[in-house]
Amino acid sequence: MSGKYRFSFGPWNIHEGADPFGPTVRDGIEFAKKLKMYKNLGFDGVQFHDDDAVPDMDNLSAQEIVKKAKEVRAMLDGEGLAAEFVAPRLWEDARTIDGAYTANDPACREYAKDRSRRTIDIAAALETRLIVLWLAREGTYIREAKDSSVAVEQIVEAINGMLAYNPDIRIAIEPKPNEPMDQAYIPTTGHAIAVSFMTDAPQRVGVNIESAHAILAGLDPSDEMGFALAYNKLFTVHLNDQNGLKFDEDKSFGAVDLRRAFNQVRILDRYDYGAAGEFVGLDVKAMRTQKQSVATKHLANSREIFLRLVKVARSIDNKTVNQLIADRDYEELDMLIVDHLMGK
């Protein structure tokens, strides 16, 4: 329990505040300027969607895409930053309206696979081996639209194609139970890990656990992490917070339920998360009310809360904890934890 942590976020985490019911409320910040903000905020890693690195990539050749990605690699070098992962953005193009790997139209599925290969090329150029797959539209609005068993085969086939395309990459599936779909096909960590064992290289397929996504599935994020850790499959995390079952809020880590955040930090720290190079990834959004000049506080605050909770986790009186467990006095253990969280 002595690890040092490195933090990452994606450029989409500094955003203009549009929501489904209203337009942007802050000016956009160009990518190069965002990169300059990372170190000052205490971050060393950049999470990418493929088109965060190479905008308009669907209109570029494979060679042009790699050339552009290498320019971004040079920008990262200039700022002393690492690329943590690249994720194919498979939810905005017209060809992904009905899903990507599980679209009913084979031409659309082919587009998704080709786009994923370009994503892998970008990752190689950015010098990261990690691909994140948020399977945004792999699911349905109505059950009758697709076959949920065939869908699993299609997802496995797509992953196998990616694993074969570049033998260096590792894939972290980011499960989420709903939004934008009514029901997603890979809603939880357990589903994602089960899928990994259907692939040609299970050891190269793991998970990215997002706190809010676990909460939306009615699950405890720290238990989801523990499950993935038991399988050696916690490739990265998307820490944030979520106030109950509603839209995906991406609140600052620990801002809703400090004890739930504490338990995530505690299990990560206990299992030396980060020792194999994993980043503490955030996926947090500033509130729409936040003014331009202070619209990165959610990032610095989430990091600060994480680090403070590391101290809290490490300073627990484990002897007493173990004694209370042995005595099965969980009421007293409950009080000890709450006392400790309140600084006693």
As annotated, the active-site residues are 49, 52
Structure tokens at 272: 């030396």
Tokens 């590792």, located at residue: 170
Task: By CB under 6 A, tell whether 269 contacts ligand 3MF.
Answer: no
**Residue 208 or 313 having the CB closest to Mg ion:** 208
Shortest distance, position 281 Cβ to Mg ion, whole Å: 8
The distance of closest approach from Cβ of residue 10 to ligand 3MF in the complex, given in angstroms and rounded to an integer, is 6
By CB under 6 A, is residue 210 in contact with ligand 3MF?
A: yes
Per-residue mark of binding to ligand 3MF, 108-137 (x: CB under 6 A): ------------------------x-x---
The helix/strand/coil state of 282 is strand
84 interacts with, out of Mg ion, ligand 3MF, none, CB within 5 to 8 A per kind: none
Contact between 52 and ligand 3MF by CB under 6 A: the answer reads no
Please identify the residue of the shown chain whose CB is closest to the bound Mg ion: 283
CA-to-CA distance for 125 and 50, rounded, in angstroms? 11
Residues numbered 221-250 forming contacts with Mg ion, rule: CB under 5 A: 238
Residue 186 to residue 152: CA distance in whole angstroms: 8
Exposure string for 141-155, b = 16+ CB within 10 A, e = fewer? eeeeebeeeebbebb
Q: Which of 95, 176, 233, 303 binds ligand 3MF (CB under 6 A)?
A: 176
Q: Please tell me whether residue 224 binds ligand 3MF under the rule CB under 6 A.
A: no
Q: Residue 28 in 3-state DSSP?
A: coil
Q: What 3-state class would DSSP assign to 199?
A: coil
Angle 17-186-115 (CA atoms, 0-180°, nearest 5)?
70
Cis peptide before 180 (omega within 30 of 0): yes
The closest of 90, 212, 221 to 158, measured between CA atoms, is: 90
**Which of ligand 3MF, Mg ion, none lies near 248, with the C-beta cut-off 5 to 8 A by kind?**
ligand 3MF
CA distance 323 to 325: 5
The count of residues interacting with ligand 3MF (CB under 6 A) is: 11
Q: Residue numbers of the site for ligand 3MF (CB under 6 A)?
A: 12, 49, 87, 132, 134, 174, 176, 210, 238, 248, 283
Q: Residue numbers of the site for Mg ion (CB under 5 A)?
A: 210, 238, 283
